[in-house]
A and B are shown apart, each in its own frame.
Chain A
C-alpha cells in the first residue's frame, strides 16, 4: 500500500519560473513531512521539512505548504535555477517508534536555462 503519493513524475520549468510538486498521504499518524533533494549518483539530502501544526514553512526560495484536512502538502521552488535540477522526494514519518521515512515516488525536475 503506497502511503505517500507524489506528482508529477517529471517537471520541466524555465529558469526563473516556479516549480510545484505535490504529495498526498494516507496515514494520519504521520507528524513529520520532509522534502529530500537527490542529485544523480548521490544520496538524498534534506531540503526542508514541516510539522502539521503549521500550514506553511519557507526557507529561502523553498516553501512547503501543508493542508492537514486534505492530507496534502506541496513544495514550491521560487525563481527556479538550473542548479535546482534534481529529483525531489516527499516523505512522511512518525515521531515515535522506528521513525522510518515513507517516501513518495519522486519528481525529476529539469530547469531549462
Chain B
C-alpha cells in the first residue's frame, strides 16, 4: 500500500514552460486535493475533486488546471509557468475527514 505518490520530486522550469505534476493514490479515496506551500506559510488549496470526472477550484486556481479521469489519478497542469508558481506542491486524498498527503513536488520557476 503506497498511499499517495507524487512525481517528480523536484523540477526546474523556465518561465513560459508547461508541465504536469502527477499524483496517484491506491486507497480508493473519492476526495483528492492539490495544495501549494510557500515558505513560512500554510498550505493553500489549488483544486479539488470529489470523484472521477468532478473537479472544482480552490482558493488559488489561477495558472493551473486539473483533470480526474480515474479514481486513482489527479494530475495538476501548469500552463505558462511564472516565478510566482515557485512552491512546493502537495497532493492529498481522503475518504472522510482525514487527508493523507504525498511527499510533495518542489518546483522552481526561473
Contact = CB atoms under 8 A, between A and B. Distances in A.
A72 interface: no
Given A100-B45, A100-B58, A34 B40 contact: no
A8 to B, nearest CB: 13
Contacts of A93: 97
Interface residues of B, number: 26
| Secondary structure of the B contact surface, majority rule | strand
A102 B59 CA distance: 10
Interface stretch (B14-22, B63-71, B73-81, B101-109): B101-109
25 contacts: A6-B42, A9-B40, A32-B97, A34-B98, A36-B101, A43-B4, A43-B102, A43-B104, A46-B98, A49-B97, A49-B98, A91-B42, A93-B97, A98-B56, A98-B58, A99-B31, A100-B48, A101-B43, A101-B45, A102-B45, A103-B35, A103-B44, A104-B42, A105-B42, A106-B40
